[in-house]
Amino acid sequence: MHPYVTIVLPCYNEAQHVLQEIERITAVMNASELTYELLCIDDASTDDTLAVLQDAATRYANLRVMPFRRNGGSGTARRIGTQQALGDIVVWTDADMTYENERIPELVRILRDDPSYDQVVGARTTEEGTHKWARVPAKWLIRKIAEKLTNQTIPDLNSGLRAFRREVSLPYLRLLPPGFSCVTTITLAFLSNQHDIKYVPTSYAKRAGVSKFHFAHDAYRYILQVLRMVMYFDPLKVLMPPALWLIVIGLVKGVVDMVRHPFYFPASTVLLVVSGIMIGSLALLSDLVVRSRAGV
């Protein structure tokens, strides 16, 4: 049968607890009225994860296993899983026992019953990840930058638990990076194209196993991905403010220079104005390219 829901579960070295996660998801889905498939993607694990998944597939009728020959990252697994999904609704979650996967049917029902929403996100109310002292302020800053650039309130920018309409997501899948910032990308892609997102408060448990998140490297990539996505859909929001500020500062400085030294403009004043004009021109040109682009 054609399932209504596809749950994409990326797995990388999760042999110790992935079976527990599979049992948790299948139990709640079997108890619901929703037809589903659980698509487990082994991202070239170096432990026994694939063997555990293949054994589980013989016992769970709704389980489908997709092994990768080489590691592509969680973003690649989610992208390919969404492309290969058979369901109309795609659910992303993790196999590390952190998310409330018991609430997957609740997220799906919101999309089923309210066609005005195209994505439902489990917004975490707590932070239980590694380097909590650094993650909390860093994630807050990145989220505020994203809110400012998208003019939207975003309770949780990078939650890994979400459900969305597969048909709506297809044009944006090619934009997904291979790493953790794929969840940020799909959020910003939907918001930048007027696809409404509903946020449902959820808890977040301590991770089982070893985290693959590297704070300094991945936080830097998150910031770059936020700027990249907004530039892709609305470059004026990124480039025009600094351009206008440079021009205004240059003009004010030029007036002060004229008063202090009539008809003398230092090179710094000229550089400010010219830099502002160049960045503004680049912003307008980028916006023209975006508006003339077919599709996404």
Sequence-distant (≥ 6) Cβ neighbours of residue 154 within 8 angstroms: 143, 146, 147, 187, 191
Residue 292 pLDDT more than 70?
A: yes
Three-state DSSP class for 200? strand
User: Which candidate, 179, 173, 162, 93, places its Cα nearest to that of 121?
Assistant: 162
Q: pTM here?
A: 0.81
121: its two tokens: 């996100």
- CA dist 224 and 113 (Å) reads 36
User: Which candidate, 86, 96, 82, 133, places its Cα nearest to that of 11?
Assistant: 96
Residue 133 pLDDT more than 80?
A: no
Please provide the average confidence, as pLDDT, over all residues in the chain: 88
User: Which candidate, 239, 227, 272, places its Cα nearest to that of 254?
Assistant: 272
- CA dist 287 and 231 (Å) reads 9
Residue 143 pLDDT more than 80?
A: yes
Residue 141: predicted pLDDT:
79
Half-sphere exposure of 198 (CA within 13 A, CB side): 18
- CA dist 259 and 257 (Å) reads 5
Task: Using alpha carbons, list the distances in angstroms from residue 214 to 48, 131, 262.
Answer: 23, 9, 56
Residues in the chain: 296
Task: Using alpha carbons, list the distances in angstroms from residue 97 to 55, 222, 288.
Answer: 20, 23, 45
- Please state which of the ranges 120-124, 165-169, 214-218, 283-287 shows the lowest mean pLDDT: 214-218
- CA dist 259 and 201 (Å) reads 58
Q: pLDDT tens digit string along 195-234?
A: 999 999 999 887 665 555 555 566 677 777 778 878 888 8
State the angle between helix axes of 132-150 and 215-233 in degrees (0 to 180), rounded to the nearest 10: 0
Distance from chain centroid for Cα 244 = 30
**Positive or negative, the Cα torsion across 126, 129, 132, 136?**
negative
- Residue 7, strand partner residues: 38, 91
Do the strands 36-42 and 89-92 form a parallel or antiparallel pair, or are they unpaired?
unpaired
**What percentage of the chain's residues is helix, strand, coil (to nearest 5)?**
55, 15, 35
With beta carbons less than 8 A apart as the criterion, state whether 36 and 86 touch.
Answer: no
- CA dist 190 and 172 (Å) reads 8
Q: pLDDT tens digit string along 100-121?
A: 999 999 999 999 999 999 999 9
